[in-house]
Amino acid sequence: RKEVEQDPGPFNVPEGATVAFNCTYSNSASQSFFWYRQDCRKEPKLLMSVYSSGNEDGRFTAQLNRASQYISLLIRDSKLSDSATYLCVFPGGGNKLTFGTGTQLKVEL
Amino acid sequence: DTAVSQTPKYLVTQMGNDKSIKCEQNLGHDTMYWYKQDSKKFLKIMFSYNNKELIINETVPNRFSPKSPDKAHLNLHINSLELGDSAVYFCASSQVSDGYTFGSGTRLTVV
């Protein structure tokens, strides 16, 4: 099983839709996770940290299901500007972060 | 006031050449990294330095040599460039268990 697995997409959704991505991980010892956003030809940027209690920031909600070893990202009321690749990330040893291959989201009019 | 800056932004060079990419961070972070993002968009760690000391060295050809003169700088030197080295190279920094701050990337094309 890969360390981190994500559905590559693309997810094509209309503006205003709710969309959710999942990411599965294999290292059951991982304690914290992150979602990063990467726009085309840009660097990844931290979107949210994911704790055991979940995390909500405006239209974005991240949750952790430790029993099934996946994290999720829910985006409500999608905007055109949400179009990007969303990377699931978890820490390894020595401050190392392991990145998933990303899920591409395209929000359309 | 760029937090993590890397130069150059674009680099086109011929096979066999030697090139360097520079990275500087003004965030006061202790740890710096080099990541490679290939054509399939997969981000893979190459090196990590903590306070000038190498702590992560993933299976990277020894043609790649990182150098950290101080904790705010981490440079990457590549010898005898090959076609397969073409990718986007990202520098990043972090403090303890915080997320990373990435530089804007160096797009390397080997022809």
Segment A44-97, tens digit of pLDDT:
999 998 877 788 999 999 999 888 888 999 999 999 999 999 999 987 766 788
For residue A95, the chain B residues in CB contact (below 8 A) are 31, 48, 50, 55, 94, 96-97
Question: For chain A, what is the radius of gyration of the CA atoms?
Answer: 13
Nearest CA in chain B to A32: B97
Q: Are A50 and A71 in contact (CB under 8 A)?
A: yes
Q: What does the mean pLDDT of chain A come to?
A: 90
Q: What does the mean pLDDT of chain B come to?
A: 93
Higher pLDDT pick, B23 / B57: B23
Given a cut of 70, whether residue A1 has pLDDT beyond it is: no
DSSP type of residue A82: G
| Mean pLDDT in residue range A13-35 | 88
Integer CA distances (angstroms), B45 to A18, A55, A91, B34, B59, in order = 32, 27, 12, 6, 9
Position A98 scores a pLDDT of: 87
Given a cut of 90, whether residue A28 has pLDDT beyond it is: no
Nearest CA in chain A to B54: A94
Confidence of residue A31 (pLDDT cuts 50, 70, 90): confident
Q: How far is A27 from chain B (nearest CA, A)?
A: 17
State the amino acid at position A102 in one-letter form: G
Choose the closest CB to A46 out of B45, B96, B99. Answer: B99
Q: Of A20-29, A67-76, B9-18, which range is least confident? A: A20-29
For residue B56, the chain A residues in CB contact (below 8 A) are 94, 96
- Residue B20 has phi, psi (to 5 degrees) of -125, 150
Q: Are A32 and A48 in contact (CB under 8 A)?
A: no
Instruction: Report the alpha-carbon distance of residue B36 to residue B107 in Å, rounded.
Output: 10
Higher pLDDT pick, A19 / A5: A19
Position A107 scores a pLDDT of: 97
Position B11 scores a pLDDT of: 97
Which contacts qualify for A47-53: CB closer than 8 Å, 24 or more apart?
A47/A73, A47/A86, A48/A73, A49/B99
Q: Within 13 Å, how many C-alpha atoms sit on residue B14's CB side?
A: 1
Position A20 scores a pLDDT of: 95
**Kind and range of the H or E run holding A85:** strand A84-91
**Kind and range of the H or E run holding A25:** strand A19-25
3-state helix vs strand vs coil in chain B, percent to 5: 5, 55, 40
Name the token pair of B89.
Answer: 């190279």
3-state helix vs strand vs coil in chain A, percent to 5: 5, 55, 45
Instruction: Report the alpha-carbon distance of residue B13 to residue B20 in Å, rounded.
Output: 11
Mind listing the pLDDT tens digit for each residue in B79-104? 999 999 999 999 999 986 667 899 99
Nearest CA in chain A to B32: A95
Instruction: Report the alpha-carbon distance of residue B74 to residue B32 in Å, rounded.
Output: 7
Put simply, the answer to whether B103 touches A43 (Cβ < 8 Å) is yes
Given a cut of 90, whether residue B107 has pLDDT beyond it is: yes
